[in-house]
Amino acid sequence: MGYPGGNINLSEEEIKYFMNKIRLRKLYEDDDIVLMTAPNEDELMNIILDLLRDKPMNLREIHTILSGLASEDKIRKALITLSENGFITMNSDGRYVILGFVSKH
């Protein structure tokens, strides 16, 4: 894909860390399985904001973390909505950052 910042610059440990941060509603749980709901649009935007509070990321990095939970199109839509509403912006290297927020990294 030809969008800016398309490279994944996350370690396996970072990917696991971010995946473990995501909390979804449990529908069912027993000793063998846990069934959870996929995030709705508002939940997806909150998840993305939470991820970006830790580290600026590009679309591909966010999609890697959220694979199985949200399609790339849904992630793009959430990023566009967050950007249009003034919560995030894309910096010069193609990573999304929260406006007015200083990253921990």
Q: Are 79 and 89 in contact (CB under 8 A)?
A: no
12-98 architecture in CATH?
Answer: Orthogonal Bundle (1.10)
Name the more confident of 60 and 5: 60
Q: Dig out the tokens for 56 from the structure.
A: 């600026």
Average predicted confidence (pLDDT) for the chain:
86
d(CA 4, CA 30): 43
pLDDT of residue 76: 97
Q: How far is CA 28 from CA 8, 19, 36, 40, 63, in A?
A: 33, 20, 7, 18, 25
> Per DSSP, what are the bridge partners of residue 79?
none
Name the more confident of 72 and 28: 72
What are the residue boundaries of the structural domains of the chain, listed by start? Answer: 12-98
pLDDT of residue 59: 96
